[in-house]
Copies of this chain bind each other. A is one copy, B any other.
Amino acid sequence: MSDAFSSPAQPSPSVQSCTPNLPGFTCGLDATLRVVSGKWKPLILYFLAQGGPTRYGELRRSVRDVSDKVLIQQLKELEADGLVKRTDYKEVPPRVDYSLTALGHSLAQALVPLCTWGTEHMAEVSQVYAERATWTRRGP
């Protein structure tokens, strides 16, 4: 099941594996993307996946160019979605760290192929983007 993407041309009976079965989501992919989309979320997951528990400040420095407001916001969402765990050591000065939950780890695994795909095809993709940047920014 869930190999919906692998059959190229012929409509297959596996269609139902990805059709609406729970409130709000049209398919599994939809659910997944809702949870990962956010400008910095993939990067956050990435750093947590390979760095283990990480303090806020360190995360902040790792994910370059992100503002406090947005970083915190995305961390909160990830936490609310059960992908990330926040640990507050109740110390002073404040000490807090973030780590992946089991769910978060499983998602991270699922992201590996996407990461690979992006790396392998980055040349083609970024080329297209570069060209687009030209005619995208022209007008009054």
Interface on A for B, CB 8 Å cutoff? 1-12, 14-15, 17-18, 21-37, 42-43, 45-46, 49-53, 64, 80-82, 100, 103, 105-126, 128-130, 132
B31 touches A118 (CB 8 A): yes
Given the known interface contacts A5-B49, A14-B50, A42-B33, the answer about A27 and B114 at a Cβ–Cβ threshold of 8 Å is: no
Point out which of A12, A113, A122 has the most chain B C-beta atoms below 10 A from its C-beta.
A113
Point out which of A6, A28, A42 has the most chain B C-beta atoms below 10 A from its C-beta.
A28
A2 touches B116 (CB 8 A): yes
Additional 13 contacts, C-beta under 8 A, given A31-B121, A31-B122, A103-B124: A4-B46, A5-B50, A6-B109, A10-B52, A21-B122, A25-B118, A25-B122, A28-B115, A28-B119, A29-B43, A29-B114, A31-B119, A80-B132
